[in-house]
Structure 1
């Protein structure tokens, strides 16, 4: 059995329920369009990876969607907050026999297939890998052994998440990957060329 597992956390693409902080500036419809675009990007950079791939849905598993069930194993997230949901996903993965597990979200444009391949490669040499995000969180987490403290007592969505996680890992073998920009608010996309068409059709342009 392939001992490498990639977990992709995703939200169902529904109007008014995705990229809500971004939507406050550009409107619900462009925010949904951007999220759908990011889902397709995540699909494109993961579908050819030579590892086992799981998609974990936030609300409800969908059968006939972007994620081909021949390529992606579909699962349901569970837990009261993001940390517990990630912890349960890792626990399940290790219980299923995987030795190297990486988790990413489904909304990182600043991420490529080679970035994920490199993360798995670094996981051969280190027990943990972390991809720092510009906003103080992280866009990727990988481990070879479960450490539950990573997932507890964090202010998820704040700029302290990476710092607090590194405190939990201070005595561990950790590889930090290059810093990447994740997309939560308007400032994350306003100067990125690929998002300009979305912005031009958004509330912010209508109000200008």
Structure 2
């Protein structure tokens, strides 16, 4: 196991009314939660093989019996907003001696093990790595040193987050990954026909 690499997986607890709220406006709380569970299973599947220490950070409480097996360390997010929580998780990781730290969410069906492994490899050369999302946010952020600026003065959930982060990193040695599409709305499901059919049949 590569103990210099830490993957932070940020997730919401899959509770109806508490996750995928934008999607729920179209398909309802229960169906939106089922979509999120599919996303969680995919995230667990693609991250399990990674040669890195893996921490799952839950929004409200640790899920004892879920798709994240005993190969994952389980924690609860600490902080006020998303930026504060990510900042604290990165700070703790660097305090523990990790050299390369990446955070991802659980909103992508088209992210692969190779994508994340490639991001870690990029951190061997670059100081930062960023995965842009189509909605104006990002699905992955990695760094080799603490940088609290990246987590401050952001309107989390707004389409300005990516641009504001790129401004923060304009003078840094940054690797940009391919753009991906977070699944946040019903329209985001268009390219995932099997998932739409699953929703229609359950």
Quickly name the TM-score band, shorter chain normalised.
Answer: over 0.9
Q: Could you say what secondary structure the match of 1:114 adopts?
A: helix
Question: 1:36: which partner in 2?
Answer: 37
Question: 2:110: which partner in 1?
Answer: 110
Q: Could you say what secondary structure the match of 1:56 adopts?
A: strand
Provide the C-alpha distance between the structure 2 equivalents of 1:136 and 1:35, rounded to a whole number of angstroms: 20
Return 5+ residue gaps in structure 2 as ranges: none
Question: 2:124: which partner in 1?
Answer: 124
Shift of 1:135: 0.5
Q: Could you say what secondary structure the match of 1:101 adopts?
A: strand
Shift of 1:201: 4.5
Find runs of 4+ consecutive structure 1 residues off by over 4 angstroms.
none
| Normalised TM-score (structure 2) | 0.96
Equivalence map 1:3-82=2 (5 Å):
3-69=4-70, 71-82=71-82
Provide the C-alpha distance between the structure 1 equivalents of 2:142 and 2:173, rounded to a whole number of angstroms: 12
The question of whether the paired residues in 2 share the 8 Å contact of 1:34 and 1:198 is answered with no
Q: Could you say what secondary structure the match of 1:124 adopts?
A: coil
Deviations 1:102-145 (A, max 9, x none): 00012211200000010001111100000000001000000001
Shift of 1:65: 2.0
Provide the C-alpha distance between the structure 1 equivalents of 2:45 and 2:68, rounded to a whole number of angstroms: 10
Provide the C-alpha distance between the structure 1 equivalents of 2:40 and 2:105, rounded to a whole number of angstroms: 9
Q: Could you say what secondary structure the match of 2:124 adopts?
A: helix
Return 5+ residue gaps in structure 1 as ranges: 203-208
Shift of 1:190: 2.7
2:140 paired with 1:140 = yes
Q: Could you say what secondary structure the match of 1:158 adopts?
A: coil
| Normalised TM-score (structure 1) | 0.93
The question of whether the paired residues in 2 share the 8 Å contact of 1:9 and 1:56 is answered with yes
Deviations 1:50-105 (A, max 9, x none): 11100011101122222113x00111101110000000000000001100000001
Shift of 1:199: 4.0
CA RMSD of aligned residues (A): 1.2
Question: 1:205: which partner in 2?
Answer: none
The question of whether the paired residues in 2 share the 8 Å contact of 1:33 and 1:198 is answered with no
Question: 2:173: which partner in 1?
Answer: 173
Provide the C-alpha distance between the structure 2 equivalents of 1:151 and 1:106, rounded to a whole number of angstroms: 19
Question: 2:197: which partner in 1?
Answer: 197
Counting matched residue pairs gives 201
Shift of 1:198: 3.7
